[in-house]
Amino acid sequence: MLCHALVALQTPELAGPSPLVPRYVESSSGLSFPDWDGGNTEIEFGDVDRDGNLDMVSVGDHGSPFIGTNMHGIVVWFGDGAGGWSAVQSGDFGYGGCALGDVNGDGWLDVGYGVHHNYASGDLGDQLIEVALGDGSGQSWIPWDDGLATSGETYGMFDCDFGDVDADGDLDLACLSFGCCNGWRLYLNNGDGTWTPRYSVSGGNTRPGIVFGDVNNDGHLDLAVGHEAGTVWLGDGGGGFAPGDRNLPPGSALGRSGVDLGDANNDGRADLVYVSSGGLKLWLQAPGGSWVQAGTGLPASGSFERADLADMNRDDRLDLVAFGEGEGAVFLGDGHGGFRRAAGFQTAQPGYAAALRAGGDVDHNGMPDIAVVADEGTIFSSRNRLRFFREVSEPAVPAILVTSPGPAAALRRGSLRFVDWLSAVPGGAPADVDLELSVSGISGPWTPIASGLADSGRLAWLVAGAASSDCRIRATLRTTAGTVRRVSGRFTIL
């Protein structure tokens, strides 16, 4: 553990918004292996080996496994903390979407995935939906998947997300169909390597995108899904869901594109972003369940295909990252549902989006980075290419910000939720993090959540503490350049 006597205290009242405007350079060294082919995929950030540096994970595109490429199975690109990467692979399957989370509580990240190419002859990779336990190596994955893909799935499944929908302390799995006609599925984690099918919307067309978030601020996880039958689905706390689109405009016959959830106005309710006619749409969830269109400053049309919400400049306000046809853009949020375009990046043409992921800070400068998979080349030679764009500002002093739970969020005791933070570490030096909880406001007293954490930016937290509407998390960042603390905004434990 790093120890320093100097402690700077930051609170929401004392530490105002960061004025930083992000700047990006490509940092793709090591990402040319393995080869890609074409088609959609999904990329996730996570600290697979628990070294404090973020890694990237995918199960590949149409070329996996070994279809005109050397890509196969679960691919982990280990990050070196400075924007360099090295890949390892395991398994004889692929072409799909994935999610990262610790499903069995052993501290190691596990992977859930939906695939089209379930070609494996053994247990790992022989189902359309699976979960595999990790040990940090990226090469030894243990199937933990009994009961998955038993709810009528055929042909292929794809995008996935983990979330504790029934508030029982473990991560459940949602998975979306590979195009037509399997709809989406929700499986409950039984905690012993078995899963129970709990909810499904069958048939219909889909577009990539399935994500958990608390839309109505009741402490139960809801879903946004790229499905023609509806985009927003409200969770009942037991694994059941009800339609929540209400007054949203009708989606397309294929489902909405580029869906994501995040609290754009810090009222505790997750808001909805999606792509329409190449432009970007934001709808705020209002009290009572209706939707209010926002998004001043976002383009009404264009060439965007994917969108992602994340705080990209450490000002405690969600921003929007979009990508399509070789063009990436970062729109900084004002905390009220308005945005301004502030930064961008480019890939080679035609640059059709196969995947977008924003929000992981690989170099510990406190400013998140961006990964894209895009189709590049001519009509006769095009292939997908994974590219990583690193934000390059250099912090002068240490800083830390808890980004989740956000202001006014509601969490249920006994549920497994994520504590996320951004840390600025001068020179990218070694650092560790302590997290503490107060249920009595900004002055404490403080109860430890975890100490000496690797500075990976995320902790899976089994929510504890008395019910209170004035809860705070205090984050302490220790670096060789000094120690700093910051107290989060107010949230509620139910």
Same domain? For 339 and 428 the reply is no
The domain containing residue 168 runs over which residues? 24-391
Same domain? For 78 and 51 the reply is yes
- pLDDT tens digits for 362-408? 999 999 999 999 999 998 899 999 999 999 999 999 999 999 999 99
- Per the listing, tokens 């929700």 go with 186
Q: Whose CA is closest to 321, among 310, 313, 334?
A: 310
Same domain? For 50 and 183 the reply is yes
Residue 453's CB: how many other CB atoms inside 10 A? 21
Same domain? For 201 and 277 the reply is yes
Question: What's the rounded mean pLDDT across residues 296-303?
Answer: 98
Same domain? For 127 and 147 the reply is yes
pLDDT exceeds cutoff 80 at 472: yes
Q: For the chain, how many structural domains are there in total?
A: 2
- Kindly give the residue spans of alpha helices, DSSP state H, lying in 204-313: none
**Which pTM value belongs to this model?**
0.96
pLDDT interval class at 252 (50, 70, 90): confident
- pLDDT tens digits for 84-100? 999 999 999 999 999 99
Same domain? For 360 and 406 the reply is no
CB 314 within 8 A of CB 457: no
Preceding omega of 65 cis (within 30 degrees of 0): yes
Same domain? For 411 and 436 the reply is yes
Is 4 part of any domain?
no
Give ∠ CA 216-360-398 in degrees, rounded to 5: 105
CATH number at 198 reads 2.130.10.10
Is 10 part of any domain?
no
Same domain? For 286 and 313 the reply is yes
pLDDT exceeds cutoff 80 at 13: no
Please name every residue paired with 5 in a beta bridge, in sequence order, or none if there are none: none
pLDDT exceeds cutoff 50 at 12: no
Same domain? For 94 and 117 the reply is yes
Same domain? For 401 and 303 the reply is no
Would you state the structure tokens that stand for residue 171, as one six-digit string? 């991560």
Is 135 part of any domain?
yes
CATH number at 460 reads 2.60.40.10
pLDDT interval class at 20 (50, 70, 90): confident
Return the pLDDT at 9: 53
Same domain? For 213 and 263 the reply is yes
Is 9 part of any domain?
no
Is 340 part of any domain?
yes
Same domain? For 313 and 221 the reply is yes
Preceding omega of 34 cis (within 30 degrees of 0): yes
Q: Which of 391, 406, 440 is the last residue of a domain?
A: 391
Distance CA 402, CA 423 (A): 9
Q: Which of 391, 411, 432 is the last residue of a domain?
A: 391
- pLDDT tens digits for 200-241? 999 999 999 999 999 999 999 999 999 999 999 999 999 999
**Residue 404 has what DSSP assignment?**
E
Return the pLDDT at 5: 44
pLDDT exceeds cutoff 70 at 104: yes
Would you state the structure tokens that stand for residue 73, as one six-digit string? 């199975």
Q: Considering the chain, what percentage of its residues have pLDDT values greater than 70?
A: 96
Q: Which of 373, 391, 409 is the last residue of a domain?
A: 391
Return the pLDDT at 17: 43
- pLDDT tens digits for 380-393? 899 999 999 999 99
Strand order in the sheet with 24-26: 24-26, 383-391, 369-376, 350-360
Is 456 part of any domain?
yes
Is 122 part of any domain?
yes
Query: pLDDT higher for 181 or 343?
Result: 343
Distance CA 284, CA 426 (A): 36
Is 2 part of any domain?
no
